[in-house]
Structure 1
Amino acid sequence: MHLLIAGVLLASLSLSSAADGGWFTVYGDPVQSERDLIQIRPASIAHLEGDLISVEVRVTRDTLREAYGGGQYRGHQSLAVVDCAQREAWYTRMRFYAQPGWNGAASTERTFRQGEAPVTFKAIPDQADRLVRAACRLRR
């Protein structure tokens, strides 16, 4: 039974990833680019050391948000490190966009040290944990 469920989940993951350029939707609807959306790119997942992996993340928000380090954004494309054992994640690089859906030129790009910019989604409860679980399940 578990194998059947795993097979169905993998099939749906493959279809949703292929339909959106390889991005897996953790939260939201990719068709509604003006709404909150959280995605990871499974093909980008790389083992770093121990239980640490890296993954590309992209987020678009329905309202302006305050960026780590200052400034406002509606979307960002980022690289995150995920600690699968501790079930936490932090951004190491973030490219911010003033428009939702990563439209237009990036307004700011920043890099961060471990723990300096934790993966959190204010006003979208439990989605950071969901992102961590998804990335850890998809690791190679």
Structure 2
Amino acid sequence: MRYLFAGLMLATVCFPSMAKEWFVVYGDPLQSQSDLIEIRPSFISTVDLPTVEVRVSRSVERNAYGGGKYRSHHSIAVIDCSNQAGWYTQMDFYGLPVWTGPVTQSRSFKVGHAPVAFAEIPGEADRLVRAACKLVK
């Protein structure tokens, strides 16, 4: 798996357009009105705990961590592979799906305070954690 990760990192250096690529964890990026969860493999860092960039677009308006409404968010999450858990540390919320329009609110959290979770999409938080952990090994 290390070779896969090294190959992804080399590809992002050699082909900068790949640095913008997103890995779909759940959903279909061609369906802008559906639920979608993505991570960007080129962003993964491994200082202490792995950190990954996450984008989520929801099919309906949701309640944001800490209050307020949103349809999509672009976030940074810290992943604890040994405990199979993740927490958001930074979240930018949008009122429209697929990260369009202005950021309506931005929040920062301490590790352990805002768990990676997707209400009404069972098992996908675990899947995101497993995918991120596979990419850093």
**Bin of the TM-score, shorter chain as denominator length:** 0.7 to 0.9
Residue in structure 2 matched with residue 130 of structure 1 by the alignment? 127
The root-mean-square deviation of aligned C-alpha atoms, in Å, is: 2.2
Aligned-partner Cα distance in 2 for 1:60–1:84: 24
TM-score computed with the length of structure 1 as normaliser: 0.84
Aligned-partner Cα distance in 2 for 1:26–1:134: 8
Residue in structure 2 matched with residue 30 of structure 1 by the alignment? 29
1:80 is aligned to 2:77: yes
Aligned-partner Cα distance in 2 for 1:123–1:20: 30
Unaligned runs of 5+ in 1: none
Unaligned runs of 5+ in 2: 12-16
Q: Contact conserved, 2:88 with 2:115, CA < 8 A, in 1?
A: yes
TM-score computed with the length of structure 2 as normaliser: 0.86
Residue in structure 2 matched with residue 120 of structure 1 by the alignment? 117
After TM superposition, the runs of 4+ consecutive aligned structure 1 residues lying more than 6 A away are none
Listed one character per residue, the Cα deviations across residues 11-33 of structure 1 (whole Å, up to 9, x for unaligned) are xxx9xxx7894100000000001
What count of residue pairs does the alignment treat as equivalent? Answer: 126
Q: Which has the higher contact order (CA 8 A, sep 6+)?
A: 2
**Cα distance, 1:103 vs structure 2:** 0.5
